[in-house]
Each structure stands twice: as structure tokens, then as C-alpha cells.
Amino acid sequence: MAEAAQESLQDRDGQVETSHHPRTDPQRGDEWYYGIPPLKAPHWIWSIWLYFWVGGIGAGAHLVSTVAQLLGYEDKALFRAAHYTVLASMIISPILLIWDLGRPERFLNMLRVLKLRSPMSLGSWALFVFGSLGGLVATSQTAHDGLLGRGFLPRLVKALIPERLLSVLALPFALFVGAYGGVLIAATSVPMWARNWFLMGPTFLASAVSTGLSWLSLVLHLGEWGKERTHEALQRAERLVLLVETGLVAGSLVKMGRWGKPLRTKKLAPLFFGGSVLGGILAPLALLFVGKETRGKSILTSTLVLLGGLALRYVMVEGGKMSAHDPEAYFSFAKGENVPAGGRDLGTNPPPSQED
């Protein structure tokens, strides 16, 4: 029996096979980590990047309405749109998260203990607190809009819910929810994400604010609501935030360096550079800075920013998955080295672990 086992370890050339994995095959002819990625890529489905996007819109909308309140704006249409946007986003976001987790109790389990060193735990609690406070603010809004009737209940709601105070208290949690996608993926060993750990959170937050601004602008223009002063303020804020986002995206590309190779592959490059950078940032900036502002132009600008923000989250998540499947990128990142200039092109010649 022992002799048979020993013979089974010999290949046709008389060399000993040391495989403990069916894919560890000396006949593969590659120089990779036995063709097996050293990292386990996240098994996130479409609902995760959509969850980052929806949550970011809600966070951005809340930031805009709270700052507007503190600055003395009195546009009821703006506050109404922002409050209901937060409510809707905080209903949809947990559903998308649970869709990925598979079972509702998994989300509830993350709320059993607050772990200050766990981005996922902090993100779950931020979502819960922000959603709860935002829900109370939205409830007060329904009372002011007469949706709860005209009896004792709406008067009680107005008296018991300090809308402005709750909005201010919810603000730090909203900011964390906006940045959460970037904070979460940066706290990993995936080269593309970890290399850009310092700018990933701010980039997601800037995108959350820009999409929140664009969503409010889109809603107000479609409904033909809001004061002229409000529309002008939203446009100025959109210009500023998009300029900041441009700098953060450019800085992220520089910081990621060669570890950002997945963003330049045939799969993701058109969506990242064409959809997110050009369509979602540069084109809206041009529309905001050039020519007279019209309702149709504003609707187009807002739509481009929203789609660009969605594209950004998709390529960042999918790019990280590709980076996790690149053994050479991982080992060079772990050693603090640059990927060799002759490194494998993920788009045209992926590692065996990525070939289907």
C-alpha cells in the first residue's frame, strides 16, 4: 500500500508531486501561486454596490438638508424631499444588505455587540442609528404635511419630535454611512483597496454628497418645486463637490498605482473612465460651468452624476474582486514592492484562477 502511494506521487518525468489541492498541477506551466489566489475574494452580489449607492444618496441628502437648516434656508420643498429621501433610502438599504447576507437574522446579529475595531459592526450600527433618527424626522415631516390627519396624533408627533435637533444628531452617522463603502473595503488585504486606504473613504463620501445633491436637484426640477435661491445654491454646491470628487478620484488613481490595474482592464475601464469619470464627473462639471442653466440641463446633469456614482461603486467593488484574484499583485503589495512592469494583464491574460 505504501509503495503504491509513493508511486502515485511520481509524475511522468520522475518528479515528486507535492499537491494538496486538485488545482496544484505542475503541468499548468505558470509561475503563479499554484494557480490559486492567496486571498479569498468577497462573494458580494449586485445588491452590495447598489446598497452603497442608495445609502450614499440618503446620507448626502441628509447632509444637504441639515446644513441648509443651520444656514437659515426656509424652503419647505427642499426639506420635504430630503426627509423622504432619507426615509426611503434607509428602508431600501437594509433590504439590499439582507439580500446579500441571505437571512435577516444575520443583520440583526451584527447589532448584538458594538465592535469599535470592526468597520462592518460600525457600519451596521451607523445604518441603524441613522435610519432610526431619519425615520423620526420623516415622521415629523408627514405630520407637517397632513399625512397623519388633522387630529390629536399629528399634534402629538409635532410636539414630541424635535426635528432640527434629531437632524443634527443624525449628521455624524449619515457621514459615516456615506463613507462606509470605502471604509469597509479599505480595511482588507485586497491590494487595490488596501493600497488606497487613506482616500477610499473620502472618495465614497464625496460621491455620496454629489449624488445626494443631484438627487434633490432632480426631484425638485421634476416636480417644479423649490425656490430659485435653493436651485442656485444646489448648483454651487454641486460644482464644489464635483471638483473635490475629481481631486479624490485622481489622487486615488495615483495612490493605487499599478495595484489599480483592474480599473484599466477591458471589463472595467469603459465603465470607470467613460461612465464614472467622464460621464459622472467631467461632463456634469462642464454642464454646470458652461452656458445658461435651464431645467432640462439641470435634469441631465443630475442624471449623469447619479449614474456616475453608481458606476463608481460597481467598478470599485468588482475591481477589488479582480485584484484579490491576482497573486502577483498581492505578494508584491505585501512586500511593499511595485508590480513588475511585465506583470500579467488581467484584462487579456488573467491568472488561471480567473479563467472560467
Distance CA 241, CA 209 (A): 7
Low-confidence ranges of the chain (pLDDT < 70): 1-37, 337-356
Can you give the C-alpha Rg of the chain in angstroms? Answer: 25
Q: Write down the pLDDT at residue 36.
A: 67
Coarse DSSP helix, strand, coil percentages of the chain, rounded to the nearest 5 percent: 70, 0, 25
Name every residue whose Cβ is closer than 8 Å to that of residue 228 and which is 6 or more positions away in sequence.
none
Cα–Cα nearest to 214, from 274, 280, 131: 280
What's the DSSP call for residue 43? -
The residues, ordered by sequence, that sit 6+ positions from 169 with a Cβ below 8 Å of its Cβ are 133
Cell numbers that stand for 256 in this block: 493605487
**Which pLDDT belongs to residue 40?**
81
Distances (CA, A) of 235 to 66, 217, 225: 17, 8, 15
DSSP codes joined into one string, 167-206? HHHHHHHHHHHHHHHHHHHHTSS-HHHHHTHHHHHHHHHH
pLDDT by residue (tens digit) across 210-249?
999 999 999 999 999 999 999 999 999 999 999 999 999 9
Total Cβ atoms within 10 A of residue 328: 18
Classify 130 as helix, strand or coil: helix
Conformation bin of residue 224: beta by default, left when phi > 0, alpha when psi is -120 to 50:
left
**Confidence at residue 150, expressed as pLDDT on a 0 to 100 scale:** 85
Task: State residue 47's pLDDT score.
Answer: 94
**pLDDT digits 0-9 by tens, 244-290:** 999 999 999 999 999 999 999 999 999 999 999 999 999 999 999 99
What is the per-residue pLDDT for 33? 55
* CATH number for region 46-337: 1.20.1630.10
CA dist 86 to 92, 98, 127, Å? 10, 19, 11
Please give the Cα distance from 356 to 353 (Å, whole number): 8
